Chains A and B, each alone.
Chain A
């Protein structure tokens, strides 16, 4: 086997290994943890195309091909056109392809847990409160309790089916907070322990969702506290739950936070689209 064929085989394997990742994640139903929904089909098609490209070149690795161009000319530039040649005259370093393409992908596929650790959730803002003026500024003065009730579906028990994102971003604006305050609501998300400094009486857990725009790298974690008047639920961290309670607001260190009081929760199946895009 000559050097060019060897390089061709290594490049093919590198391309196939990259293509295998999105196909694996898609077929295992994990792609939603990595990418927002609009990228799912692109990632799958791209992965399949990489595998096809890699396999095609692997099958033709030993084949010597000319460029199919007309080489008839009458000047001498120092090399023989009787041979067959590639257009690019440089050769790739197979060690670089192995070390930088194949090995990192294999290691990361082995090490990933397909979700953020608790430390990363915290770092991505699980216990923080940010404001998003634009979400409600688009409503201006027309946004009222009547409008909220008109556009929000209700459960048979009379709880409004709110998105965790809209409740999270309602905090901070006095007018908007008044509209939501006291509203019986039902939310869906994942349960996690509350930050100890925010939970001195040990009556709270937190509901969170990961919000991504493109991929997990740009994700933000939005959390809303759940206050229980009875004992805390015995559910494991990161369990998907439905939470019912009344919307309330509190002021901590000069910043408003939304939370659900008098909560009841029950475990539920993860939704099809786990990572909501921002409104």
Chain B
């Protein structure tokens, strides 16, 4: 794969990234997911942000908390399964100290999933987020990116974390998409 990948601002990943950057989010960590490949490629080449991959999502929340304490606006890019690895850090670090983390979360186990084992955590993730005090917003198509705009504004203003769940339908960018929220 080329390391010279240009940002395709018309792709779902490019549109999402532009939307997040427009809010001044300037410090990112990531853990890979096949759905997030293009977002991670953009992060690897964008010299205007601070970025590192991390070994596990929980470590990433620690790094992002430190970045916020030093005046930056942090975000994590991860799969929904990773939320299971960060619940204690969210409750006892970022919620406790009012540190807002923006989470761009690919939603495995959503409609279109082919791997059965992804479904249980895919079904559980919204409830686990809500139970651990993180607002959860599903964005099912790039046409709904206004939800990301509103959500980031809310999170930064109130110093609360917010997760955007991005299912298969978001990444497919189907022209015939009809909003249909479960």
A and B interact physically? no
